[in-house]
Chain A
Amino acid sequence: AQSVAQPEDQVNVAEGNPLTVKCTYSVSGNPYLFWYVQYPNRGLQFLLKYITGDNLVKGSYGFEAEFNKSQTSFHLKKPSALVSDSALYFCAARGGYSTLTFGKGTMLLVSP
């Protein structure tokens, strides 16, 4: 069975500092990896995805993610955090013929 782990329930960072939200996955075959963001009382919004090719993927709002096959990781990063980035972030993965599996989410809090 496939799985997605987000080891941190919450990440705290000061505005202007770099941020990293961690994600590791386990899927069969080639992985298709996604990051979504959920603002309070809103639906999930797609940020970026990894299909194949460059290990560094760039997405919306200045976010990027680094795919590491040997560590089966897909960490979300941003060079300079904004207070408005505060939200719940979900990593998701699928492979083979499986459905999309989501991690439990990581709350990002950016302080002014």
Chain B
Amino acid sequence: DTAVSQTPKYLVTQMGNDKSIKCEQNLGHDTMYWYKQDSKKFLKIMFSYNNKELIINETVPNRFSPKSPDKAHLNLHINSLELGDSAVYFCASSRGDRPLSYEQYFGPGTRLTVT
């Protein structure tokens, strides 16, 4: 059984388009995250939701909008895609954001290529 799943696995699109990535976790976790991994493998957090509420919003263009319909799902919608958005996007979940000791479980990633 997949703990954290993401769809699609690959996404190729043109500049200016709008696209969404979906994430679901079946671990019963309260907190979900979106990370961006660039071409140099550097990993940076974008957003974090706890029980459907946004708790972390790092410096991310407002073209990126997360949506959490319930605590098992955290989707990422991207408007007006740019070349620099090309990256691998990872969804993750954890039991909670506090205490700080909870480890995170990652999905398989979505490789976004903007042409």
Q: Out of A43, A88, A105, which one reaches B106, CB within 8 Å?
A: A43
Bound: A52/B41 CA distance, A? 29
- Of A17-25, A70-78, A92-100, the stretch lying at the interface with chain B is A92-100
Which residues 63-109 of B have a CB within 8 angstroms of A? 90, 92, 100-101, 103-109
Q: Out of B41, B100, B103, B104, which one reaches A88, CB within 8 Å?
A: B41
Which residues 61-107 of A have a CB within 8 angstroms of B? 88, 90, 94-95, 99-100, 102, 104-105
Are A99 and B109 also in contact (CB < 8 A) when A43-B4, A88-B41, A104-B40 are? no
Which of A32, A49, A100, A104 has the most chain B CB atoms inside 10 A of its CB? A100
- Give every chain A residue within 8 A of B50 (Cβ-Cβ): none
Size of interface on B: residues with Cβ below 8 Å to A = 21
- Give every chain B residue within 8 A of A56 (Cβ-Cβ): none
Min CB–CB distance A96 → chain B (angstroms): 8
Would A51 and B90 count as touching, CB distance under 8 A? no
Are A100 and B41 also in contact (CB < 8 A) when A46-B105, A51-B101, A94-B100 are? no
Bound: A102/B4 CA distance, A? 20
* Closest partner residue, chain A, to B90 (CB atom): A43
Bound: A99/B94 CA distance, A? 13
- B15 touches A (CB below 8 Å): no
Would B45 and A90 count as touching, CB distance under 8 A? no
Bound: A35/B68 CA distance, A? 28
Min CB–CB distance A46 → chain B (angstroms): 4
Min CB–CB distance A37 → chain B (angstroms): 11
Interface residues of B (CB under 8 A from A): 4, 40-45, 48, 56, 58, 90, 92, 100-101, 103-109
Interface residues of A (CB under 8 A from B): 32, 34, 36, 38, 41-46, 49, 51, 88, 90, 94-95, 99-100, 102, 104-105
Known A32-B100, A99-B45; further 13 A-B contacts with Cβ < 8 A: A34-B103, A36-B106, A38-B41, A41-B108, A44-B106, A51-B101, A90-B43, A94-B100, A99-B58, A100-B104, A105-B41, A105-B42, A105-B43
